[in-house]
Amino acid sequence: MLDIGFSKPALPKTGALAILIAEKEKLSGLAAQADKACGGAIGRALEAAKFTGRKGTSCTILAPGAGLSRMVAVGLGEAAKIDVRTAEDAGGHLGAALAAEAEAAIACDGSVKAHAASVAYGANLRSYRFDRYRTKEKPEDKPKLSALTVLTDDPAKAKAEYAPLAAVAKGVFLARDLCSEPPNVLNPYEFAARCEALESLGLDVEVVGPKEMKKLGFGALLGVAQGSENDPCMVVMRWNGAGKGDGGKGDGGKGKKGKKAKPICFIGKGVTFDTGGISLKPAANMEDMKWDMAGAGTVAGLMAALAGRRANVDAVGLLGLVENMPSGNAQRPGDVVTSASGQTIEVINTDAEGRLVLADVIHYAQKEFDPAFIVDLATLTGAIIIGLGHEHAGLFCNDDKLASQLEAAGKASGETVWRMPLGEEYDKLLKSDIADMKNVGGRPGGSITAACFIQRFIDKDRPWAHLDIAGTAWGAKDKPTVPKGAVGFGVRLLDRLVAAHFEGGKHDG
Enzyme catalytic residues: 281, 355
Q: Using the 8-state DSSP alphabet, how is residue 141 labeled?
A: G
Q: Is residue 298 within 8 Å of 488, Cβ to Cβ?
A: yes
* Residue 258 Ramachandran class (φ > 0 left, ψ -120 to 50 alpha, else beta): left
Tell me the three state secondary structure of residue 226: coil
Q: Is residue 373 within 8 Å of 462, Cβ to Cβ?
A: yes
Tell me the three state secondary structure of residue 310: coil
Cα-only R_g, the chain: 24
DSSP string, 257-270: TSPBPPPEEEEEEE
With CA atoms as reference, report the closest residue to 501 among 247, 261, 191. 261
Q: Is residue 186 within 8 Å of 178, Cβ to Cβ?
A: yes
E-only strand ranges, 33-183:
58-65, 68-75, 104-107, 147-151
- Provide the Cα torsion 149, 150, 154, 156; round to 10°: -50
Cα–Cα dist 102/71, whole Å:
14
With CA atoms as reference, report the closest residue to 45 among 34, 66, 61, 57. 61
Distances (CA, A) of 281 to 58, 277, 372: 43, 8, 37
Tell me the three state secondary structure of residue 146: coil
- Provide the Cα torsion 151, 153, 156, 160; round to 10°: -80
The H or E element that residue 377 is part of is strand 374-378
User: Strand 16-21 relative to strand 68-75: parallel, antiparallel, unpaired?
Assistant: parallel
